[in-house]
Amino acid sequence: MIDIETAARLVDDAAMSSTAINQLTAVDAFSVQDAYRIQRASIMRRVRRGERRIGIKLGFTSRAKMVQMGVDSLIWGWLTNAMLEDDGGLVDVSQYIHPRVEPEVCFLTRRAIDRPLTALEAKDFLEAVAPAMEIIDSRYRDFRFTLEDVVADNCSSAGLVVGSWAKDFDGLRNAGVILRMDGKDVQIGSTGAILGHPLRAVVEASRLASSSETALPAGSLIMAGAATAAHALMPGKHVQAVVNGIGEVEFSTR
The alpha helices in 18-139, defined as continuous H runs, are: 32-48, 63-69, 119-122
Calpha distance 101→84 (Å, rounded): 14
Does position 243 interact with ligand OOG (CB under 6 A)? The reply is no
Residue 154 interacts with, from Mg ion, ligand OOG, none (CB under 5-8 Å by kind): none
Judge contact between 84 and 246, C-beta under 8 A. no
Does position 105 interact with ligand OOG (CB under 6 A)? The reply is no
Q: Which helix (H) or strand (E) holds 208?
A: helix 199-211
Count, residues near ligand OOG per rule CB under 6 A: 15
Q: How far is the CB of 253 from ligand OOG (least distance, A)?
A: 18
Which one of residues 195, 199, 226, 242 is an interface residue with ligand OOG (CB under 6 A)? 226
CA distances in angstroms from 228 to 48, 78, 219, 220, listed in the order given: 34, 21, 26, 24
Does position 151 interact with ligand OOG (CB under 6 A)? The reply is no
Select from 119, 3, 25 the least CA-distant residue to 71: 25
User: Contacts with ligand OOG in 113-142 (CB under 6 A)?
Assistant: 134, 136, 138
Q: Nearest 5°: phi and psi at 193?
A: -70, -15
Closer to Mg ion at the Cβ: 134 or 148?
A: 134
- How many CB atoms are closer than 10 A to CB 53? 17
Which one of residues 34, 102, 149, 204 is an interface residue with ligand OOG (CB under 6 A)? 102
Q: Are strands 90-91 and 247-253 parallel, antiparallel or unpaired?
A: parallel
For residues 130 to 149, the per-residue mask of contacts with Mg ion, x marking binding by CB under 5 A and - elsewhere, is ----x---------------
- How many CB atoms are closer than 10 A to CB 248? 16
Residue 150 interacts with, from Mg ion, ligand OOG, none (CB under 5-8 Å by kind): ligand OOG
Does position 225 interact with ligand OOG (CB under 6 A)? The reply is yes
CA distances in angstroms from 125 to 36, 203, 205, listed in the order given: 25, 10, 12
Q: How far is the CB of 61 from Mg ion (least distance, A)?
A: 8
For residues 34 to 73, the per-residue mask of contacts with ligand OOG, x marking binding by CB under 6 A and - elsewhere, is -----------------------x-xxx---x---x----
Q: How far is the CB of 1 from ligand OOG (least distance, A)?
A: 25
Q: By CB under 6 A, name the binding residues for ligand OOG.
A: 57, 59-61, 65, 69, 102, 134, 136, 138, 150, 155-156, 225-226
Residues near Mg ion, by CB under 5 A: 134, 226
